[in-house]
Structure formats: C-alpha cells, structure tokens
Structure 1
C-alpha cells in the first residue's frame, strides 16, 4: 500500500477542512444544476429548434435527443502560434464524435492574447484582465443548455485558467481539455541568447535579431520554453483533465490526431446521463488541486500559477493560499530543469 508523504497528507487535510463550507455549497450548486438547470430535455421546442437549426449534418440526431451532444469552446485565432492549430479542430472533432454515435457543436469562442506579443507594450495591461473575459465567454458559451459534455480548446497563459474557471460554473458537465501541443524545437536557446546579447551591445542589427527570434518561434504550436502555457498543459494532465499523454505532442502529427479522437470518444462515454458520467466539478477537488501544486513544484513550472491556482480552486469551492504552496515546496523535490530554468526545452522534457 502506498502512503502519502506526511506533509502532503497534512496540507491536503488542511485544505479539505478550510474548504468544507465552500466546497459543500459548490457541490450543492452542481447537483442542483444537474437535476434542474439548463439541459436539452428542459428546453422548449422553440429553444431547441434554434439550437440545432444550423447543424445540417446532425439535425436529426440532435432533434431525437437520444445521443450525446458535445459542446466545443475554442480559443482559436491564427495570429498566435499556440492557438492556430485549433482552426482545423471543429470539423475534425465532429467527425470523431460521429464515430461513436455522438454529435458536436461549437458552443462559442473565447479571446486569446499572448504575453509574448504584448510584453513591454500597452496591450500587456489587458493580460490578467483577459482571464476574467475568458471565464465569462466560457460561461456564455455553456449557458445554452445544449450539451452533455464539453471539449475545451485552449493552451496559453490566461486562457486555460479562464476556461477552467468559467467551466466550473457548469461543473455538473463532464469536460476534457484538448491541447494542440508545442511547436518543434527551433533555434537553440543558447544561440538565441547569444544573438540577443550582441543586439544589446549594438553588434547585431534589428534584421539579424528578428531572424534569430523567428527561427526560435517558427511554426504553429506553443512556444517551447516552460512558461505559463506549458505549465498549464502539465497541470491539466496532472489533474486528470487531459487524455493521458496529450500535453506535449506536436501539432500536425498522427499521434496528436489520435489524442483528439480519444478525447472525443471519451467525452461521449463520460457524458451526462451515461454509465461512466464524470462531472468536471467532482474531478476538480481538493486532491486534484494539491496534485496541480505538486506537479508545478516538481517540474519548476510558472510562478504565475501562484495567482491562477487559487482562483481556479475558489471556482470549485476550494480554498488554498500561498502557505499551502510553501509547505508543499518543502516536501516536493525539483525533478526537472526546463528552459528558462535549465537548458532543455519542453520537447526534450516530453522526450525524457
């Protein structure tokens, strides 16, 4: 029998105790939503007809009401490398849903901004605020009551926390995050640093610097350093909200397509009113939040999650604070040094 490290056990128990009232209110909320909230079976005929009018290939199936309908909430735009692959996902995901007798519809989109573009610019003033906009947009998308499970398409810094915070309002629904993966490794980090240093000394031109930067950030996919975006992916996997192994598979590969197919097939199986129903709000509990913190500490992930994780936890009725982070950090060893905390990038981390 495996026993938990005493610090992990103590912190988990403390979180459970201080969260008792809030968690109970949250669980009561999602139980009420499941039994009496918005759902296809409770929509009027006019409401329901509006909901499937444009689903030309799936109208009859959705109208019959006997199959799972999967909502897709997407952070697609084709300005940001991490989210560009999502443009091709909805048609693909709908086909994968039909393979198991389900249907899928795009419920809505959320904004996705990149600190890598806005860093040092006035646009950065909107970065943290965007998390709340994303949470609101997610809730708007899911407010129609048309779905029995949900695929969440998002990757980067504020997008995943925002999606999860908004999704937890509808925590009676089963949900899976569907990532798109990191871009292949480009210009080695040491060479990029060398060119940056030369530019800072006036020994490399803007054209030379831009050439180096574009050789580093060079294709669709998440940036390859272990910042907040890739820390998000690690945490979603550690919390059980990904298909296992999905976090760092490169875009456009056969394995990535297989992961997407597996996610949709799983969403059909764990959906509302199915034998293996697994509501998001029951998956994101005190233990899952501790797992996320442990994963963050063990891999040297982004310190931005010192503000994101408490907000995610609060959305599920769980209370954590920086003392919990501190206590766990004394018990969890650092197992990886990934750039910028080391030389290896996230593709090497994944390979290891």
Structure 2
C-alpha cells in the first residue's frame, strides 16, 4: 500500500478502491465500471487500460449513469458505478431509489471524493448529505469505510452481495487502523476500544480521530468505548445496545450532524435504549475552504470529539 503524497503513513482510499475493483475484474468477467466523465478522479485509468471493453463512460450525466448501471445489472453484470459523491447521490436520487433500490438491481454505487474532500470548490461539491439521504431509502445498503483496508474489504463484500450497495469512498488521507479482527462483514460493527464511561461511535475519516479522542480522555481517567460502524444501513443493533449500556454516546462523521450516522444511532436509542447523546458533524452548508480547515473549523477532529464527550459527561453529571 503506497502512502498518500500529503504525509507519510496516510493513505488515499481511492487507491484501495480501484485496486480491489481491478482484482475482482481479473477473476470475474461480470465486473464492469460505469463513470460520469470521472475516470481520473475515480483513479480508474489503469482499469480502463486493462479492460477497455468493461469501462463505460456516459459523460456528465449522472441519472443516465445509474440507469445504465441498473441495465447492466439486469443483464447479469456487476457494475461499479463511480462518480463524485455529491453528484452521484444528488443528481441521480430518483434512479438510485427506483432503478436500484426498489428494483433490487445488483448495482454498486461508489461515491468518490466524498465528504468535504472538494473543499475549495464549496458547498456545491461537498457530499455531506449523502448518508442522510440514502439511508432513508428502503433496501439500500450504505457503507462508510474508515481506512484503506476496510475500503477494499467493503468493495469485495459489495461485489459478493446480491443487491444495491452505496459505498462512500474517501480521498482525504487517513491512516491504517490497528485492529485485532481482520474480517469485514456488511452490517457488523467493530469495537476498536473497550470502555464503560462513554461510547464514541464513528465511521469514515472520523474513526482515527475518535481513537485519538479516546486516548486524550483516557489520560483524564475517562474510559471510552470506540465503535466503528461502517455499515449505516442495515445498522448493527447489538453494537448500539452495547454502546448505549455505557450511559452516553457521541457520534462522529464527515457529514451532517443530523440524519446520517448520528440520526441512525439516535433513532435506535429513542426506541430501545434512551441515553444522552452528542453528534459531531457539519451543522449545515459548509463554506469554501480546504478540507483540513473545514474539518478543524467545525470540530471534526480529536479535540472536537473529546470536547463533545466532556460536555456530555458534565451535563449528565449535572455540572
């Protein structure tokens, strides 16, 4: 695995994505890629060279792209429909809902450069609503991997899964996570750290920040449970029950602070295990700025997560 040029030890998950798709295609002739004039940003150039007849570029026409993907799936192919997350989800929402989810077409939707990776291009290019939108669609699996390994495993699991899947693929550099259990399963969370005072539930680019926040809180005598919930739909309710048993939950995601992962956790807790919560995420439209600046400005980092945890515990204790 090659490190991102931005810093040693950090990786662009798009590299893991394209490597996994190419490996799948080598073994399975049903694997094809469909793009919206996004071969470069999806890093599918090598795939196109290796499989020139198995990459379909529909141009800047996202609704058509998803429809073509559904048609290919109906013809027995396994299409990976790849494009910038903001355009794939917002422009083609009806096709995702009807052609993919309602019809249960075997399409793999890959939202590339998700979150605020296109920071300087402003709110039109921020993909922070996608999970909130898509998890409301019935029978659509939604996955937000946390690092390169999990991205590759999610791609492989999606290819083996019979049905529509949305995978949020980050380009923001992240480290490889240390994990004892190197298995990935759709719908199953992973507990990265045990603790009984509070739970931090995160996914995507916020998971390594959640672990750093847990380290900072541990130095203050606060034992934090850290849970990576990559699959937002269907969500791992057993993991949520265990998190709620700590008595307080902070969620963290590179997306809206309402409707996405935080909303999914809150819905479960409201129905089954009411506990106080804080949700770390973007409050709404974010301004133009670099991705690192946006993350820091809105507290989507270790300090912001730890601060939300302290605030929650203080409120719970009546301080």
The structure richer in helix per residue is: 1
Pick the TM interval, shorter chain.
0.3 to 0.5
Q: TM (normalized to structure 2)?
A: 0.34
Higher strand share: 2
Q: Which has the higher contact order (CA 8 A, sep 6+)?
A: 1
